[in-house]
DNA sequence: GATCCTCGAGTTCT
DNA sequence: CTCGAGGATC
């Protein structure tokens, strides 16, 4: 190694050390000026000798070159969400389910504050931070590595002589209250707009395309767990894992604790609630996790959330405001939804002006009238909700809401069946509102994924008579499009490119995009998998449809009715004429589906297949992958370090397979008994 | 017939 | 995110 390389390395190590002392331990050991001098020396060295620049260099913290957009990142271990509890009863139920699931009388829980920030994943390969991503939908997020590198509290290199090949650390990016206040003061001094709350400020900073801008925002990070790990023995409990992360120089919440039983949980909640206002960051509750990883594994998951953890949320903030009016919105299926127009009110970190009232019955039940003073909160801290009316303050001229007899958009009759709470516009696709919603549904990301075709544009296209139904999108010409208001040549070209791009799709997305009542993303995929191609679906009788998993009489009838409608047939035919296509789905013959009707449970780490690969293969073979072992499980597939699921399989006398046996099962020609 | 779980649909704001 | 309904299971 040359002298220069050695010097660069010394500088990097010293800066990393000072950084950790300053930003994580809050105990600087050198004056700022000295830090700055070392930093500049390293910057100059790297500028003169670019080959000395490493991915863990602190100079990257001031921001790399701006980018065009963010790459997608697939999380190899999904980033799950937590179930929420609001009441003592919720927490008691949680504890009861945990105890029953484990067969224990008392359980130890690791508790920590629930940060109100953004979940991110940090991937360290051989001890160096190589990739950082947002949580996204839990399966895939965005690559924000350059932005995360600017956060001083995040180590760029693990302080280990012999780092593990892979360590994925998960945690929350947030802005400390004091930093937020200072940032807003600075914004105000410059005459710029203030941020609404620390969470939004942090979210905005993380999504900057120019990392140099992110670097100017004072972001912090706290770790709360790990994802993928290779070559590192994890301690047996969550609390000990947090200690390990702290030793690796990650900031972790100091308010964490291990408590016993539900009484301990409730005491902890009480204590943190009292400390809340004095904490240096915003929190929206606390998180409880079963402390022992062995027990966590035994409990497993229900759909997208772990059974071994719960978020105990503080009650949502409520605010008083006035119902100025009640409007009616028309949805894709013609559902008429009353929406309260509110006098703008700041609640739960944002200004709320609208709140859904769901349906007539709901309005009657809460006795909401136009002109009333009402309490408003953000349900689950997101969607505004009218909680209650202040009857004592009802003005004399308060008006009751009456569901219109005719659709406010198209004038068709409004109907309501006895068994449904919703009123519907009977206009069908004659109603512009329904046509617009159908188009938005068609274009949405999980359907045909036409980028840029949003509400405003759909309004213009439909109102301007350019588009009546989805097939018209594919015959749009550039000139008339470019003449729309607020639409230039460039945007028009982009839109046409996005539309053209959507021609290549999958059968499942296409079926979902059609907008058949009661057929969402999952059912559309099931239909695609079951029938394999479109003609088979078009020809299916209601009985044949019910053979598809999760399709019963109601859904089957919806599909049949939709496909029997000549207009819908015409739309499908025209879309195909416009060149919409998809790769052929594997023929769903009995031979190709050796696991049809079987339920398997995966446990432990398989030698070659990842868990998700194994799942995809099993599902492609017609099998189901369940989260926990029951007497309905046909096989348990066990790999290395298999946990209690394996034990349970043995107790219940369920056949256990290894990876090789699974593969031979997948390859066999006929269904297994 | 009761209960659990999953999916669909509608919704807000930035 | 939440609600409600449809489907599956016990």
Same-domain pairing of A475 and A519: no
Same domain, A240 and A172: yes
Q: In CATH, what number is assigned to the domain containing residue A372?
A: 2.40.50.140
| Residue A413 domain flag | no
Note whether A480 and A568 are same-domain residues: no
Single residue among A369, A393, A417 that ends a domain in this structure: A393
> Are both A543 and A491 inside the same structural domain?
no
Cα–Cα distance for residue pair A120/A73, rounded to 1 Å: 11
CA of A222 to C1' of C9 (A): 42
DSSP A563-589: HH-HHHHHHHHHHHHTT-B-PPPPP--
Residue A302 CB in 7 A reach of strand C? no
Neighbours of A325 (CB within 10 A): 12
- What was the pLDDT predicted at A672? 44
What CATH number corresponds to the domain at position A305? Answer: 3.30.470.30
- In-domain check, residue A588: no
- In this predicted model, what pLDDT tens digit does every residue of A79-127 receive, in sequence order? 877 877 878 888 888 888 888 888 888 999 999 999 988 889 999 999 9
- Residues A608, A486 share a domain: no
Q: Are residues A307 and A324 in the same domain?
A: no
**Closest nt to residue A196, judged CA to C1':** B14
Domain-embedded: residue A305 = yes
Residue A586 lies in a domain: no
> What's the 3-state SS for A619-664?
HHCCCEEECCCCCCCCEEEECECCCHHHHHHHHHCCEEECHHHHHH
Q: Is residue A369 located within the same domain as residue A233?
A: no
The domain boundary, picked from A501, A525, A545, lies at: A501
Domain extent, residue A288, equals 84-313
* Count: domains in chain A: 6
A396 Cα distance to chain centroid: 46
| A114 flagged as catalytic | yes
Question: CA-to-CA distance for A387 and A403, rounded, in angstroms?
Answer: 21
CA of A333 to C1' of C3 (A): 17
Q: By the 8 A CB rule, do A504 and A581 touch?
A: yes
Quote the pLDDT of residue A302: 63
Q: How far apart are CA A292 and CA A304, in angstroms?
A: 20
Nucleotides on chain C within 7 angstroms of protein Cβ:
1-10
For residue range A203-261, list pLDDT tens digits in order.
888 888 888 888 888 999 999 999 999 999 999 999 999 999 999 999 999 999 999 99
pLDDT along chain A (673 residues), means of 10: 84 86 76 81 84 83 65 81 80 85 89 90 94 82 89 93 94 92 86 80 85 88 93 94 96 95 93 90 90 86 74 84 90 87 84 86 85 84 82 90 88 80 83 89 88 86 89 90 82 87 90 90 86 90 86 89 91 94 66 68 70 69 69 72 65 73 71 44
Measured distance CA(A302)–CA(A522) in Å, rounded: 17
Take residue A160 and report the two structure tokens written for it.
């280990």
Closest CA to A355 of A331, A378, A330: A378
- CA–CA gap between residue A41 and residue A542 (Å, rounded): 74
- The answer to whether residue A400 is domain-embedded is no
Question: Which residues does residue A581 pair with via DSSP β-bridges, in sequence order?
Answer: A504
Which pLDDT belongs to residue A46? 85
Same domain, A111 and A216: yes
Closest CA to A285 of A520, A533, A116: A116
Q: pTM for the full model? A: 0.67
Residues constituting chain A: 673
Residues A155, A189, single domain; the answer is yes
CATH number where A39 lies: 1.10.287.610
C1' nearest to CA of A551: which nucleotide? Answer: C7
pLDDT score of A422 = 80
Residue A419: inside a domain, yes or no?
no
Q: Does a structural domain hold residue A58?
A: no
Under 8 Å between Cβ of A286 and A111: yes
Q: Are A486 and A573 contained in the same domain? A: no
**Residue A409: count of CB within 10 angstroms of its CB:** 18
Q: What is the CATH number of the domain that holds A482?
A: 1.10.150.20
**Nearest residue, CA→C1' of C7:** A550
- Cα A629 to Cα A92: distance, rounded to the nearest angstrom: 24
Separation of alpha carbons A473 and A477, rounded Å: 9
Tell whether A158 and A208 lie within a shared domain. yes
Contact indicator for A604, A642 with CB cutoff of 8 Å: yes
Residues lying close to strand C (Cβ under 7 A), chosen from 16-45 of chain A, are none
- Whether A211 and A340 map to the same domain: the answer is no
- Which of A477, A501, A525 is a domain's end point? A501
What residues form DSSP beta bridges with A504? A581
């Amino acid at each position: 190694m040359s002298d220069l390389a050695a010097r660069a390395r010394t500088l990097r190590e010293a800066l990393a050390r000072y950084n950790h002392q300053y930003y994580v331990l809050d105990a600087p050991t050198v004056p700022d000026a000295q830090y700055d001098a070392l930093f500049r020396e390293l910057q100059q060295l790297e500028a003169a000798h670019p080959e000395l620049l490493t991915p863990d260099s602190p100079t990257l913290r001031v921001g790399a070159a701006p980018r065009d957009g963010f790459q997608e990142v697939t999380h190899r271990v999904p980033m799950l969400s937590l179930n929420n509890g609001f009441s003592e009863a919720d927490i008691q139920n949680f504890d009861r389910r945990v105890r029953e699931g484990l067969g224990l009388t008392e359980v130890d829980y690791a508790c920590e504050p629930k940060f109100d920030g953004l979940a991110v994943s940090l991937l360290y390969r051989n001890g160096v931070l190589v990739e950082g991503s947002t949580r996204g939908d839990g399966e895939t997020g965005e690559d924000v590595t350059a932005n995360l590198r600017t956060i001083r509290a995040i180590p760029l290199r693990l302080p280990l002589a012999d780092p593990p090949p892979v360590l994925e650390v998960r945690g929350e990016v947030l802005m400390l209250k004091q930093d937020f206040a200072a940032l807003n003061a600075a914004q105000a001094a410059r005459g710029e707009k203030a941020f609404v709350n620390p969470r939004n400020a942090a979210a905005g900073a993380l999504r900057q395309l120019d990392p140099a801008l992110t670097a100017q925002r004072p972001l912090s990070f706290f770790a709360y767990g790990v994802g993928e790990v290779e070559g590192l023995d994890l301690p047996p409990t969550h609390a000990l894992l947090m200690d390990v992360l702290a030793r690796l120089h990650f900031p972790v919440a100091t308010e964490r604790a291990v408590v016993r039983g539900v009484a301990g949980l409730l005491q902890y909640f009480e204590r943190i609630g009292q400390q809340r206002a004095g904490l240096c960051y915003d929190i929206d509750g606390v998180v409880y996790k079963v402390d022992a990883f062995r027990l966590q594994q035994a409990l497993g998951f229900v759909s997208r959330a772990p059974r071994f953890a719960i978020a105990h949320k503080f009650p949502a903030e409520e605010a008083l405001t006035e119902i100025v009016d009640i409007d009616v919105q028309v949805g894709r299926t013609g559902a008429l939804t009353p929406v309260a127009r509110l006098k703008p009110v700041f609640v739960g970190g944002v200004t709320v002006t609208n709140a859904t009232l769901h349906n007539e019955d709901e309005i009657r039940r809460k006795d909401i009238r136009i002109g009333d003073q009402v309490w408003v909160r953000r349900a689950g801290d997101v969607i505004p909700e009218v909680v209650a009316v202040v009857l004592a303050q009802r003005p004399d001229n308060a008006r009751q809401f009456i569901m219109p007899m005719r659709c406010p958009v198209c004038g068709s009759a409004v109907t309501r069946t006895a068994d449904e709470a919703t009123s519907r516009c009977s206009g069908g696709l004659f109603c512009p509102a329904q046509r617009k919603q159908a188009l938005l549904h068609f274009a949405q990301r999980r359907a045909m994924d036409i980028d840029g075709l949003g509400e405003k544009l759909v309004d213009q296209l439909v109102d301007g008579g350019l588009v009546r139904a989805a097939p018209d999108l594919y015959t749009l010409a550039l000139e008339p499009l470019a003449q729309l208001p607020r639409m230039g040549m460039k945007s028009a070209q982009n839109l046409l490119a996005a539309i053209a791009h959507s021609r290549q799709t999958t059968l499942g997305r296409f079926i979902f995009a059609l907008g058949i009542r009661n057929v969402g993303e999952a059912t559309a995929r099931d239909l695609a998998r079951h029938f394999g191609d479109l003609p088979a679906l078009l020809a299916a009788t209601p009985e044949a449809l019910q053979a598809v998993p999760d399709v019963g009489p109601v859904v089957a009838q919806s599909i049949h009715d939709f496909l029997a409608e000549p207009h819908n047939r015409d739309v499908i035919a025209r879309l195909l004429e416009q060149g919409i296509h998809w790769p052929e789905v594997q023929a769903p013959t009995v031979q190709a589906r050796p696991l049809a009707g079987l339920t398997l449970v995966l446990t432990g780490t398989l030698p070659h297949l990842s868990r998700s690969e194994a799942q995809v293969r099993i599902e492609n073979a017609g099998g189901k992958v369940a989260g926990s072992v029951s007497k309905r499980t046909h096989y348990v597939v066990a790999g290395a370090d298999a946990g209690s699921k394996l034990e349970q399989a043995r107790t219940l006398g369920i056949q256990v397979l290894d990876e090789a046996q699974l593969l031979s099962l997948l390859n066999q020609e006929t269904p297994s008994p």
